[in-house]
Structure 1
Amino acid sequence: MSPDPLLTHDPDRRRDIAHVGPVELYTPVLAASRDFFVDHMGLREVHRTADSVYLHTWDDYQSWTVRLVQRDRAGIGRTYLRAASPQALGRLTQAVDGAGFGRGVVTDVRGLGPVHLFADPDGHELGLYWDVEWYRADDTDRPALKNQAARYPGRGANLRRLDHVNYLTADVPGTADFLRDVLGARCTEQIVSDDGSPQAIWYNLGNKSYDLVYTEDWTGSRGRLHHVAFATDTREEILRAADVCLDAGIHIETGPHKHAIQQTFFLYVWEPGGNRIELCNAGARLILAPDWKTISWTREERAKGQAWGLRTIETFHTHGTPVVD
């Protein structure tokens, strides 16, 4: 039997990445970005340095979720990926180094053990790790249930966890090959051009519908960010977040609507530094089939817009950080 062209992964291959870990966001207005995430999104400040603030979502088992870093321009810093085991970390670093993407090891990342740095084909910096410091709640946020990282904040959007990162890339096909062949991720859905080549790709690392997304950068630039997404418990919290952002003067770009791709209920806002932030709720949708076949969306299908809601605003296709002329 000939191989299925839409089966873009090997079901027998070991899944060596457990999940997306903490991320770094660059912002030119550190204090305002901090207040956005703490006061309006419901994160908790857990540490700060002279030029950065560490924040934690209430159900993240790790000691921090987002590090805001003072920079002249907005954008994405490192994205950290936790390996599935110490042995998996060894296999991953060997694969990354063998493909020529490795950038050495650092030991000074807060709350993480040795981090093996690498870059994707577009230049976004990522890091692989295994050893991690778990979050320790104190008397101000200790939960009633010991299987929960921290108390439900009851503030703003009440973001529960980091969900996914959507990068912009100048080379979608090359990035797709890297994710599949080097990292062992699988493509769950994609947007294809008329000749069948991918223009946007959604890859998962475990059983979530997607974790890493890459969209074609219309400017041809490299290393830029489309958005970072955080999950809420319910759709109602996304609706409440729209009211919270309205009252706070936060720019609401589009939503709440429902995506056709991945069926995600969403709201997109711009935090004060200029980075696009998605609040999402994909319900209980998981990819459980080990032989899942990639869902491809054509230009004609995409022209129909979202599953429901208003048409996508133009800036959704043009805005990325750092902003380029």
Structure 2
Amino acid sequence: MGFPAVRHRRLRQSVGIRGLVRETVLTVDDFIQPIFVASGTGVKNEISSMPGVYHFSLDTLEEEVKEIVELGIPAVLLFGIPESKDSIGSSAFAEEGIVQQATRKIKSLYPDLLVVADTCLCEFTDHGHCGMVHTYERDGHVCGDVLNDESLDLLVKTAVSQAKAGADIIAPSNMMDGFVQAIRAGLDEAGFSNIPIMSYSVKYASAFYGPFREAADSAPQFGDRKTYQMDPANVREALREAESDVQEGADMLMVKPALAFMDVLRMLRDQFDLPLVAYNVSGEYSMVKAAAQMGWINERAIVTEMLLGMKRAGADIIITYFAKDAARWLREGK
């Protein structure tokens, strides 16, 4: 049976009908809002490449968190900008590290707000890489190799320190081989067997991270991250990475970035039944903001379509710098 008996437009005739048959729905419970916490006092500085996103010091953090809670956003993802850095990123796992202090403050103010701690070293190392490095000179240039196994011990220390500070979820983003297994064992040994791991399972060496590196002051001082983050040309490799994390004890899987890798989101959704996270990254955010400021696009419509696309591709959770905006739009839509 076909046309004229079948008329697909019948189900598009009104707002009510379209809402009734809508397949994919965004809710505020889908979102995690990233926050950048910096050392110092009185800090609320807008990040130049990310309009509307700020560095907050501990004393200005409460206002931001209050707004997030009032909007109904269930979780925040914490990134820290420390006062000082060294070769092993020791402030990443210090008891009084900036992420640890921010976690304790947020949990004291809003115990029910979920705190997700990004577990990496790049913001805390003076070389900007996500692990320990062996440096050497070649043709007058500083070069280095990122040491996988030696880095695992530091990442475990970081995860345990974040859990001790009150983090609800540990989110390791370093892409070292075996990081989920090491962190799971370390958390369990320290008495945190109930703390879930949201693994950055599939993290590409992407050009979309540029604004984040300004925000987190985490650009590599030499080389790049292509020896540990994935080649954007590869998709079967993503399946191997995710499968390893599942076997090692990950509780949630992430694809980062999201927008250029919808096929990877769909593949993981089809292969695994763990909660799936899409990271709507800084470059994706900044492109939309820049075009909106020029009047070239309808920001609300574009962002809504992007986030719907991520959910339609299979994401259960979306980390996005648009979380507050999207939460307002959803509330206005009601």
- TM-score normalized by the length of structure 2: 0.28
| Larger gyration radius, structure 1 or structure 2 | 2
TM, length-normalised to structure 1: 0.29
Larger helix share, 1 or 2 = 2
Structure 1 or 2: more strand by fraction: 1
